[in-house]
Amino acid sequence: MNASTSGKPAGYAIAKAEGKCHVCGKVVEPGEKLMAALRETPLALERLDVCMGCWESFDKAGLLGFWQNTLLPSTARRAMFVDDDVLCELFERLAETEEQGKIYFRFVLGLILMRKRRIVYESTRHEGEKEIWSMRFKGREDKMDLVNPRLDEQKVGEVSQQLGEILNGDL
Ligand SMILES: [Zn+2]
């Protein structure tokens, strides 16, 4: 495991998966099943890995989402294998966030879901300085707001990478 935090933009902390069970501390081996859980802390989104043995009794209150995962050997960690439904749920649950890092995170998630045609752009409105996109899930009528933080291309790249790292448990 290498904690390569150097080169990450300052100001947005993501606590990454540790490759071991958050509850009992057991090291998770490549190929082993585990549960990945995402929770919100005041400063960041935190990804926790929990072994199957600890999962049932793990306190799931306050989690943004969770999914079953298999820890891949490091060479296979590039692909985003998180289910689209998990991404949609995360997008919806982060709707109320006011914290800048999470707004970035949700915006990039929105771009990914648009590309995957899971959410549809409807219109843009302005509230003061804020640009807000009105979105809806494909097949649903209710609208959701998506704040456009006006990230430049480089920043979108950085946030995408962080998103991939936290969702894939890229250690
Ligand atoms: Zn455990």
pLDDT tens by residue, 20-70: 899 999 987 777 888 988 887 776 778 888 999 999 999 988 888 888 877
The alpha carbon of 109 and the centre of ligand 1 are apart by a number of angstroms equal to 29
The alpha carbon of 5 and the centre of ligand 1 are apart by a number of angstroms equal to 25
Spans of all domains in the chain: 33-168
Report helix, strand or coil for 101: helix
Count how many residues are written for the chain: 171
Q: What is the mean pLDDT of residues 146-157?
A: 89
Q: Residue 31: its pLDDT value, please?
A: 78
Give Cα 71 distance to the centre of its chain.
17
Q: Residue 76: its pLDDT value, please?
A: 47
Amino acid at the residue 101: G
Q: How many whole angstroms separate alpha carbon 80 and alpha carbon 33?
A: 17
User: For residues 77-98, b (16+ Cβ closer than 10 Å) or e, as one string?
Assistant: beeeebeeebbbbbbeebeeee
Q: Parallel, antiparallel, or unpaired: how do β-strands 119-127 and 130-137 relate?
A: antiparallel
Per-residue pLDDT tens over the stretch 56-95: 999 988 888 888 877 665 544 444 557 788 889 889 989 9
The alpha carbon of 50 and the centre of ligand 1 are apart by a number of angstroms equal to 6
The alpha carbon of 49 and the centre of ligand 1 are apart by a number of angstroms equal to 9
Neighbouring C-alpha atoms within 13 Å toward the C-beta of 15: 16
Amino acid at the residue 4: S
The alpha carbon of 56 and the centre of ligand 1 are apart by a number of angstroms equal to 10
The alpha carbon of 92 and the centre of ligand 1 are apart by a number of angstroms equal to 29
Q: Helix H segments across the chain?
A: 52-55, 84-93, 100-115, 153-168
The alpha carbon of 127 and the centre of ligand 1 are apart by a number of angstroms equal to 46
Query: Is residue 10's pLDDT more than 50?
Result: no
Q: How many whole angstroms separate alpha carbon 122 and alpha carbon 70?
A: 37
The alpha carbon of 37 and the centre of ligand 1 are apart by a number of angstroms equal to 13
